Chains A and B, each alone.
Chain A
Amino acid sequence: MILKMKKEDLSAFLETVKEWGELWGPTRKGERVAFERVEALSQMDLKAARTIIPPKKLLYPPRFTMFDFDDEGYVERTGDVPNRILFGIHPCDIHGIQIMDTMFLEEYKDPYYAERREKTLLLGHSCIPDEKCMCFATDTEFIAEGFDLFFTDLKMFYLVWVGSSRGHDLVRMKPELFSRDIGKDDILNYTEYRKWKTSQFSANADFTGMPDIFELGYDSSILDELAEKCLSCGQCTMVCPTCNCFNVVDEVELGSVEGTRDRFWDSCMFREYSLVAGGHNFRDKRVDRLKLWYTHKLQAYIGEFGEPACVGCGRCVATCPVDINVVTVANALREQEVGK
């Protein structure tokens, strides 16, 4: 279902849906763009290309408690998550959440992710690509499903895709703001918009044939050269919308047998990641860690699900201080040469 809304009505709409839960959206403070809790549309920056951390932080926080325990055993800690409406999420990030859903909700459903996912409504918004966006190369520049509502900005109007019955419930909270009156001009406008968006990309990204190129280039010295530059800081994994790895530790209360089992984001770039008891490390070398990450994103996942585990959001490009990212790695492997 596609509806139409006047742009000036968005503010009133968001004001209304806040009754359902906390409103979250992209905010800007200097260089820092982040999804934060807001009170009104005016606090959001809908023109920003990307937040530093993808919306996964709301579905799967950097650190949280899984269980409380005492000497009787473990008690699950769930039920303390508020309803949230996440507005202004871009197609790439919705694709990212779909990949996370596959990971966390299908086999052995993760109750912590499931609860947050259930209580978070995704209200997508069309975006303005910048030079780091490469969703065109991962086929994630548009989105047809996975959101509750999706707002495409056509200058005068929004076209609003209703993607779920819960999204429709939000529309029904203020139905007078929406119209079904879509005419020829709207269709032409939308076609123009798609053309415009497709013409905006300038990143030199091409992932075609990556599984085979990776297979062929797995032992090439190109990857060693990149590993020599890698700081193993793990930023690439923290900002990646499809990185889900975590570590688990127990904490105890001082002087007591009670405590918590906590879970926090881990990174395959860290030496500790593949370390087993007794001191053996399956990926002690930096290059082996890089290979794991990049084969996972650009080879293994394609083999498993037919699409890369990269959604082209450009966050690794915007974060890695030494310029190791999906674009530079894919190009280096393809051309067998590390760029500048």
Chain B
Amino acid sequence: MRKLCVVLEDREVQDNPYKPEMWRIVRRYPLTNDVNFFQARSVDVDQALRMNYLPGQFVMASVLGEGEAPFSISSTPSRPGLLEFCIQRVGTLTETLFSLKENQTVGLRGPYGNGFPIDKMEGKDILIVAGGLGAAPLRSLLLYVLDNRDRFGDIAYLHGARTPGEMLFREEFLQLKERDDLNCLLTVDKDDTGQWPERVGMVTDLFKELGGIDAKNTYAAVCGPPVMYKFVMQRLVKLDIPKHQILMTLERRMKCGVGKCGHCAIEYLYTCIDGPVFTYWDVLHMKELIGKGVSSDVIA
């Protein structure tokens, strides 16, 4: 049996792992054309404070009568009480979710998945690479490392979006550029506003601005569209970051979140309990993914 490089956290066992608890939407506003920011607080206040999670974990969210789907958490456990999500309107569940108003309730259960291996990442340099909606789980990690700034080495945040209007948390990230303890590099493929103050180009173009990195002492976390993975992985491997220190999060269909329904299986791994954060080394063993976002030429 191959061992995962990621350490699984102890999970709290509930009586019925499928039972959603009710959470109230306290804030909701658009981040981009089709992505909304949701902030939720548990109807049961104690529950809100008990909710503990790791960056990179996800919850199963239910809309009464519509169904349930996984969503990664965008907030950080270092700021407890509220859960935040950025959700793209892509299907029937999210369409109904977008019809809900503030003060209405949704069902939530979790957190699920392994999350980022924070224990191992402490003391190391952190390189975060986000593309498009990939910023959703990576914002959690970024805020977490910034809130615990003295426990990490150098931190770089690279974020690419198609246009300025499509960059999630644009204003928040632009403000982060002012911090001198973070190297925040933002880029868009195309500036259709003429007022974009930052880089124009691919996210991989940002690598040349990184300067020298202490590769063996670096953890990289990547999330983005499949096409981005291919090129970003090539760069990271070229930089000599060990493959077991390159972390990526995968998305799959899920009906349970707790390793029962089978949908998220990739060979012997369940994305919901063994992931969604996998090391690049893990992913290289997933034959099913070769040629589908994972390039086999990196193996050679």
Q: Do chains A and B make direct contact within the complex (CB under 8 angstroms)?
A: yes
List B242-293 residues whose CB lies under 8 Å from chain A.
Answer: 251-253, 255-256, 258-263, 265, 267-268, 273, 287-288, 292
Q: A246-B262, A268-B262 are in contact. Are A73 and B267 (CB under 8 A)?
A: no
Q: Chain B residues near A296 (CB, 8 Å)? A: 265, 267-268
**Is B91 an interface position by the 8 A CB rule?**
yes
Is residue A84 within 8 Å, beta carbon to beta carbon, of the partner chain? no
| Minimum CB–CB distance for A61 against chain B, Å | 15
Name the interface residues of A267-294: CB closer than 8 Å to any CB of B.
Answer: 268, 273-278, 282, 288, 291-292
Q: For residue A76, which residues in chain B have a CB less than 8 angstroms away from its CB?
A: 16, 19
The CA-CA distance from A247 to B255 in the complex, in Å, is: 6
Taking residues whose C-beta sits less than 8 angstroms from the other chain, chain B's interface range is 35 or more
A69 to B93, CA, bound (A): 17
Cα-based distance from A249 to B251 in the complex (angstroms): 20
Contacts of A266 in B (CB 8 A): 255, 261-263
B94 on the interface (CB 8 Å rule)?
yes
CA distance A116 to B94 in the complex (A): 34
Shortest A102–chain B CB gap in Å is 11
Residue of B nearest to A237 (CB): B262
Contact of B64 among A103, A219, A257, A288 (CB under 8 A): A257
Known: A274-B252, A276-B253. A107 touches B107 (CB 8 A): no
The stretch among A22-30, A128-136, A145-153, A300-308 that forms the contact with chain B is A300-308
| Chain A interface residue number, banded | 35 or more
Question: A259's contact among B65, B94, B273, by CB below 8 Å, is which?
Answer: B65
Chain B residues closer than 8 Å to A303, beta-carbon distance: 1-2, 268
Complex CA gap A16/B176 in Å reads: 75
Instruction: Say yes or no: is A228 at the interface (Cβ < 8 Å to chain B).
Output: no
Complex CA–CA separation, A252 to B64 (angstroms): 9
Stretch at the interface among B66-74, B157-165, B178-186: B66-74
- Answer whether residue B191 sits at the interface, using C-beta atoms and an 8 A cutoff: no
Pick from A215, A291, A295 the residue with the most CB of B within 10 Å.
A295
Q: Report yes or no: A247 in contact with B261, Cβ–Cβ below 8 A.
A: yes
Residues of B within 8 A of A250 (CB): 62, 64-68
| Chain A 54-66 near chain B by CB (<8 Å), digits 1 or 0 | 0000000000001
Find out whether the CB atom of B268 lies under 8 angstroms from the CB atom of A74: no
Decide yes or no: A248 and B267 within 8 Å by CB, A273-B253, A277-B94 being known contacts: no
A245 at interface by CB-CB < 8 Å: yes
Residue in chain B with minimal CB distance to A306: B1
Q: Is the CB of A245 within 8 A of B67?
A: no
Whether B253 and A252, one on each chain, are in contact in the complex, defined by CB atoms closer than 8 angstroms, is: no
Question: Once the chains bind, are A244 and B260 in contact (CB under 8 Å)?
Answer: yes
- B21 close to A (CB within 8 Å): yes
In chain A, what residue has the closest Cβ to B22?
A73
Tell me whether A212 is interfacial, beta carbon within 8 Å.
Answer: no
Q: Is A111 an interface residue when CB atoms closer than 8 A count as contact? A: yes
CA of A303 to CA of B287, assembled, Å: 15
Partner of A108 from B13, B22, B67, B253 at Cβ < 8 Å: B13
A288 contacts which chain B residues (CB < 8 A)? Answer: 288
Contact of A252 among B65, B69, B260, B267 (CB under 8 A): B65
Report if A176 contacts B (CB, 8 A).
Answer: no
**Given A246-B255, A248-B67, A277-B91, does the pair A73, B263 have CB atoms closer than 8 Å?**
no
B119 in the interface (beta carbon within 8 A): no
B15 at the interface (CB under 8 A from A): yes
| A299: B residues at CB distance < 8 A | 267-268
Q: Which residues of A contact B62 (CB under 8 A)?
A: 74, 250, 261
Expressed in whole angstroms, the minimum distance between the Cβ of A117 and any Cβ of chain B is 14
User: Contact at A103–B1, with CB atoms within 8 Å?
Assistant: no
Q: How far is the CA of A110 from the CA of B20 in the complex (A)?
A: 14
Across the two chains, which residue of chain A brings its CB closest to B8? A107
How distant is B18 from chain A, measured CB to nearest CB, in Å? 6
B200-245 residues at the A interface, CB under 8 angstroms: none
Q: Tell me whether B299 is interfacial, beta carbon within 8 Å.
A: no
Q: Does B90 contact A (CB under 8 A)?
A: yes
Chain B residues with CB under 8 Å of A69's CB are 64-65
Is A274 within 8 A of B253, CB to CB? yes
Contacts A277-B90, A303-B1; A248 near B17 (Cβ below 8 A): no
CA of A32 to CA of B1, assembled, Å:
40
Closest to A69 in B: B64
Using CB atoms, name the residue of chain B closest to A251.
Answer: B65
Identify the interface centre among A108, A109, A218: most chain B CB within 10 Å of its CB. Answer: A108
Could you tell me which residues of chain A, from 211 to 261, have a CB within 8 Å of some CB in chain B? 215, 218-219, 244-250, 252, 257, 259, 261
The CA of A219 and the CA of B287, in the complex, are separated in Å by 9
B263: chain A residues at CB < 8 Å are 245, 266, 273-274
Most buried by B among A71, A109, A248: A248
Contact (Cβ within 8 A) B288 A276: no
Q: Which residues of A contact B256 (CB under 8 A)?
A: 246, 248
Interface residues in B1-45 (C-beta closer than 8 Å to A): 1-2, 11, 13, 15-22
Answer whether A104 and B19 are a contact pair too, CB < 8 Å, given A248-B255, A250-B67.
no
A244 x B65 contact (CB < 8 A): no
| B267 in contact with A300 (CB, 8 Å) | yes
Q: Report yes or no: B252 in contact with A245, Cβ–Cβ below 8 A.
A: no
Taking each of B65, B67, B105, B252, which has the highest tally of chain A beta carbons within 10 Å of its own beta carbon? B65
B65 nearest CB neighbor, chain A only = A252
Cβ-defined contact, B22 with A66, below 8 A: no
A72 within 8 A of B: yes
Closest 5 CB pairs of A and B: A277-B91, A245-B262, A300-B268, A278-B90, A108-B258
* Pairs across A and B, CB under 8 Å, 7 listed: A71-B64, A107-B273, A219-B287, A246-B262, A266-B255, A273-B263, A275-B253
Interface residues of A (CB under 8 A from B): 66-67, 69-74, 76, 103-104, 107-111, 215, 218-219, 244-250, 252, 257, 259, 261, 266, 268, 273-278, 282, 288, 291-292, 295-296, 299-301, 303-304
